[in-house]
Amino acid sequence: MKAIFTKTAGLSDRPFHYCPGCTHGIIHRLIGELLEEMNLIEHTIGVAPVGCSGFCENYFTCDMIGAAHGRAVAVATGAKRARPDRFIFTYQGDGDGASIGLAETMSAAARGEKITSIFVNNCIYGMTGGQMAPTSLVGQKTSTSPYGRDAATMGYPLDLPKVLTQIEGAVYVASVSVDSPQAIKDAKKVLRKAFQVQLDGLGYSFVSILSTCPTNWGVNPVEALEWLQTKMKPHFALGELKVPATEGGSEA
Amino acid sequence: MALLMKGNEAIAEAAIQAGCRLFYGYPITPSTEIPEYMAKKMKAVGGTYLQAESEIAAIYMVYGAGAVGERVMTGTSSPGFSLMQEGLSFLFAAEIPCVIVDVMRGGPGLGGLGPTQADYFQLTKGGGHGDYHAIVLAPFSVQEMVDLTKEAFDLADYYRNLVIIAADGILGQMMEPVEFPPVAGRKLEPKTWAASGAEGRPKNNVLSYYLTPELGEAENLRWGEKMSRIKETEQRFVEYEMEDADYAFVAFGTSSRITETAVDMLREEGIKVGLYRPVTLWPFPEKGLTARLNQIKGWMSIELSAGQMVDDVKLVVNGKAPVGFYGRQGGMTPEPEEVAAAFKAQLLGGE
């Protein structure tokens, strides 16, 4: 009998620790499949963050380095400069990439580091139990914004990919979601491009993926997808926000 | 052939000769000649100099390069060294070998640009969180900066531990004749643990966390054993006029040079005094000091700080003799006459 779907060699057999309805698992699978399809598993060094995905080194079958909170991009930079022949990616949450590690993200982009960052945005701090994130929406209730995020005192959500499009060294910037079968397919295409940009040595590639956190949003998995679609999507620029010059983009 | 070089440049050249091909750093006085030298020379040897956006990023770039198994260094000065402390804790836990240079300057705060030794606690007690130690080497001349830098890379690889070169604003900036003799080096195992790409082997993870307290304790005990091994085998010190001494100074780096002169002055007056100079600040060289406990009637720590190493001296002397202290702070250095006078006042009852 012909197998029409198998688990990717890019992922181990270890069961995910993620909550029901969380989309980290889908994103992991897409990355694992691409590492396998692009023949990268043995040539890849992944950098794990601190946060819910801080244990992702248990799942990816490539070599992995565990970074401190917010420092994944600096770690990846150090590794890539040491081994330019390797494919290097960071897997980070919104707190990691857009708050505590914002300087590292922006600076790596400015230098055009030939690495790929996968930025999983669920508008909340998951690992620590549902605190306000740099991407939390105005009015969003979290354990540290219990009356809702008040723009006057807590500011506004940061749309990091949109900001990165302004940086010359960030040559491929995309923002996608994985909330439907079609969206998952599209996300994989975007990730493949981001990986290829690094393999072609063009510069920094960055893919933001809108993700769910039913546990800390206080909703069930189905409601979480609705929340993502109705609340999150209107607040974040989506699509391929910047493509390399070879595709008619604005790369210098 | 001897070359006339600044201490900072000599460290950088020694690192390149030790096979370091990656330098990540952020400019800060009085250590800036290290990144400048690296920026100029790395290209010629096929290495990489990269200017990080901050010392925080620099130390994590070091972490990334060390984790893939390459020899890597950064250099900084006190405020920058403070910024790196989180990274040092992570480097220790992930057991990533690397070499860090701290060319100490005045503090606390932004402080001043003059030399101090006031990072001693931060260097030797672990400035970051958790139970850890770096191996800390304290040169007192430009030549020793070369010799210890070369050795630092071997020590780092051998023990899979971070190694810090503790210099100060004077040592970094002054010029002395220096030679770069070939070094045999230690026999080192291949870095089979490195996360360098899993070609033809099972995958590697380089991590700094543990999920259960049981595992956490086991890891800490294992690291503790490593620390004990280093303490047992790597203590270094140099003695000056100690053989017949009744009294002894303890001083390292720049303050030990000044103290040497004070020893000569006091000996001319017929006072039998010597100098015990720690070369490793961690592990503190207890053994050599302990061996002199029955001989020395009084000890005195001379430091460019409010008195930090003196605590370690007191721990070893353990009440068997008085332990004095004299120091200058904020970038000031004592004259040998001041050191001699302080010695007389504190240990000879004001003779």
The model's pLDDT over A23-58, given as tens digits with 9 standing for 90+, comes to: 999 999 999 999 999 999 999 999 999 999 999 999
B143 and B40 in a single domain? The answer is yes
Give me chain A's average pLDDT, please: 96
B65 and B158 in a single domain? The answer is yes
pLDDT at A250: 54
B206 and B274 in a single domain? The answer is no
Q: How far apart, in whole angstroms, are the C-alpha atoms of residue A213 and residue A25?
A: 12
* B209 chain-A contacts, CB cut-off 8 A: 54, 66
Find out whether B39 and A47 touch, Cβ atoms under 8 Å.
Answer: no
Q: Is residue A101 part of a domain?
A: yes
Q: Is residue A34 part of a domain?
A: yes
The residue among B218, B233, B248 that closes a domain is B233
Please provide residue B345's backbone torsions phi and psi, each rounded to the nearest 5 degrees: -65, -40
**pLDDT tens-digit profile of A173-216?**
999 999 999 999 999 999 999 999 999 999 999 999 999 999 99
pLDDT at A248: 65
B155 and B70 in a single domain? The answer is yes
**Do the Cβ atoms of A41 and B198 come within 8 Å?**
yes
Nearest CA to B204 out of A138, A45, A181 is that of: A45
Find out whether B25 and B38 touch, Cβ atoms under 8 Å.
Answer: yes
Nearest-CA residue of chain A relative to B58? A74
Can you give the residue range of the structural domain that contains A243? 24-125+158-213+237-247
Nearest-CA residue of chain A relative to B193? A63
The residue among B208, B233, B258 that closes a domain is B233
Q: Is residue A121 part of a domain?
A: yes
**Do the Cβ atoms of B61 and A54 come within 8 Å?**
no
* B204 chain-A contacts, CB cut-off 8 A: 63-64
> In chain A, which among 77-136 make CB contacts under 8 A with chain B?
77-83, 86, 103-104, 107
Could you tell me the CATH number of the domain that includes residue B32? Answer: 3.40.50.970
Six-digit token string for B344: 């007389």
B130 and B266 in a single domain? The answer is no
Nearest-CA residue of chain B relative to A110? B53
* A97 chain-B contacts, CB cut-off 8 A: none
Q: How far is B127 from chain A (nearest CA, A)?
A: 16
Q: Does B53 touch chain A (CB under 8 A)?
A: yes
Nearest-CA residue of chain B relative to A68? B90
Find out whether B281 and B256 touch, Cβ atoms under 8 Å.
Answer: no
Q: Is residue A79 part of a domain?
A: yes
Q: What is the ipTM of this complex?
A: 0.96
B69 and B47 in a single domain? The answer is yes
Q: How far is B206 from chain A (nearest CA, A)?
A: 5
State the Rg of chain A over Cα: 17
**pLDDT tens-digit profile of A206-251?**
999 999 999 999 999 999 999 999 999 999 999 999 999 877 665 4
**Do the Cβ atoms of B197 and A63 come within 8 Å?**
yes
Six-digit token string for A240: 């391929």
Nearest CA to B111 out of B61, B69, B169, B158 is that of: B169
Nearest-CA residue of chain A relative to B70? A82
**Do the Cβ atoms of A63 and B62 come within 8 Å?**
no
User: What are the pLDDT tens digits along chain B (351 aa)?
Assistant: 899 999 999 999 999 999 999 999 999 999 999 999 999 999 999 999 999 999 999 999 999 999 999 999 999 999 999 999 999 999 999 999 999 999 999 999 999 999 999 999 999 998 999 999 999 999 999 999 999 999 999 999 999 999 999 999 999 999 999 999 999 999 999 999 999 999 999 999 999 999 899 999 999 999 999 999 999 999 999 999 999 999 999 999 999 999 999 999 999 999 999 999 999 999 999 999 999 999 999 999 999 999 999 999 999 999 999 999 999 999 999 999 999 999 999 999 865
B309 and B180 in a single domain? The answer is no
Q: How far apart, in whole angstroms, are the C-alpha atoms of residue B83 and residue B122?
A: 12
B117 and B151 in a single domain? The answer is yes
Number of domains in chain B: 2
Pick from A36, A39, A75, A88 the residue to mutate for testing the B interface (most B CBs within 10 Å).
Answer: A75
B188 and B299 in a single domain? The answer is no
* A55 chain-B contacts, CB cut-off 8 A: 211
B182 and B264 in a single domain? The answer is no
Grouping H, G, I as helix, E, B as strand and the rest as coil, residue B25 is: strand
Six-digit token string for B339: 């050191």
Q: Is residue A89 part of a domain?
A: yes
Can you give the residue range of the structural domain that contains B39? 3-233
Average pLDDT of span A95-105: 97
The residue among B233, B252, B284 that closes a domain is B233
Number of domains in chain A: 1
Does residue A252 carry a pLDDT above 50?
A: no
Could you tell me the CATH number of the domain that includes residue B244? Answer: 3.40.50.920
Q: How many residues does chain B have?
A: 351
Query: For chain A, what percent of residues have pLDDT higher than 70?
Result: 98
B44 and B61 in a single domain? The answer is yes
**Do the Cβ atoms of B53 and A43 come within 8 Å?**
no
Peptide bond into A134 cis (omega under 30): no
pLDDT at B294: 98
* A65 chain-B contacts, CB cut-off 8 A: 63-64, 67-68, 94, 195, 205-207
One DSSP character per residue, B262-296 reads HHHHHHHTT--EEEEEESEEES--HHHHHHTTTT-
Q: Is residue A175 part of a domain?
A: yes
Which value, to the nearest 10 degrees, does the dihedral of the CA atoms of residues A53, A54, A59, A65 take?
A: 130
Could you tell me the CATH number of the domain that includes residue A50? Answer: 3.40.50.970
Q: Is residue A134 part of a domain?
A: no
Q: Does A61 touch chain B (CB under 8 A)?
A: yes
Residues 6 or more apart whose Cβ sits within 8 Å of residue A207: A116, A117, A118, A119, A173, A174, A175, A176, A187, A190, A191, A194
pLDDT at B120: 98
Q: Does B206 touch chain A (CB under 8 A)?
A: yes
Q: How far is B7 from chain A (nearest CA, A)?
A: 26
Q: What is the Cα B71 distance to its own chain's centre?
A: 18
* B94 chain-A contacts, CB cut-off 8 A: 65-66
One DSSP character per residue, chain A reads ---S----TTB-SPPP-PPTT-SHHHHHHHHHHHHHHTT-GGGEEEEE-SSGGGGGGGTBSSEEEEPPTT-HHHHHHHHHHH-TTSEEEEEEEHHIIIIITHHHHHHHHHHT-S-EEEEEE-SEETTTTSEE-TTPPTT--BTTBTT---HHHH-----HHHHHTT-TTEEEEEEEE-SSHHHHHHHHHHHHHHHHHHHTT--EEEEEEE---HHHHTS-HHHHHHHIIIIIGGGS--EEEE--GGGT----
Q: Is residue A6 part of a domain?
A: no
Q: Give Cα separations from B275 to A49, B87, B295 (angstroms).
A: 49, 35, 13
B158 and B241 in a single domain? The answer is no
- Report how many Cβ contacts below 8 Å link chain A to chain B: 130
